[in-house]
Amino acid sequence: MELEPIPDQLLADCHVLGRFPASTLLLNRNAALPWFILVPQTPLGDFLDLPQEQRLVVLAECAGVSKFIKQVLGFDKVNFAGLGNVVPAMHLHIIGRHPQDACWPQPVWGNLPGGASYTTGQLREWQAGLVSLLGLVPEPL
């Protein structure tokens, strides 16, 4: 099966961490918050249009990333959204939040300060945690 390409704008904004059975997992390059983006393998643009079986698999993958954010990264709040207004290809945002973060209580869109970047070591550590906890098939960093 040929994989759907990841949109260029997402590739420019994100690190590609790896693949799950139904999607590719990205991490926004801005390290101010753990902002994961799950890109399902589909030409459809809206999550709710996925066939039920695929929708359930993708939702389980999102729930797994949320579990990683809460259990491994220590966040107690996770925002989850699928907008697609700027990048029309289906992608789902899974973002760790806490009352002391740089955007709280506002949404991250348009409020996230620039600057912070992930080290290669941190990316590898998170990738290894996702492999261990969720079975992520890693991509080279």
140: in domain: no
Angle between helix axes 120-134 and 52-71 (nearest 10 degrees) is 120
3: in domain: no
pLDDT score recorded for residue 2: 61
- DSSP code string of 83-121: --SSS-S--EEEEEE-TTSTTTTS-STTT--S--B--HH
Residues 72-93 as b/e (b if ≥16 CB within 10 A, e otherwise) read eeebeebeeebeeeebebbbbb
Structural domain that includes position 116: 8-135
Give the pLDDT band (50/70/90) at residue 1. Answer: low
Mean pLDDT score of the chain: 94
33: in domain: yes
List, for residues 80-91, the tens digit of each pLDDT value: 999 888 888 999
List, for residues 14-40, the tens digit of each pLDDT value: 999 999 999 999 999 999 999 999 999
110: in domain: yes
84: in domain: yes
Q: Could you tell me the CATH number of the domain that includes residue 35?
A: 3.30.428.10
Q: How many domains does the chain have?
A: 1
1: in domain: no
What's the whole-number mean pLDDT along residues 85-113? 92
Question: Which tokens go with 139?
Answer: 């991509």
2: in domain: no
Percent of the chain topping pLDDT 70: 98
22: in domain: yes
For residues 72 and 129, the answer to whether their CB atoms sit within 8 Å is yes
List, for residues 35-83, the tens digit of each pLDDT value: 999 999 999 999 999 999 999 999 999 999 999 999 999 999 999 999 8
pTM, 2 dp: 0.95
Helices (H), the chain: 8-13, 52-71, 120-134
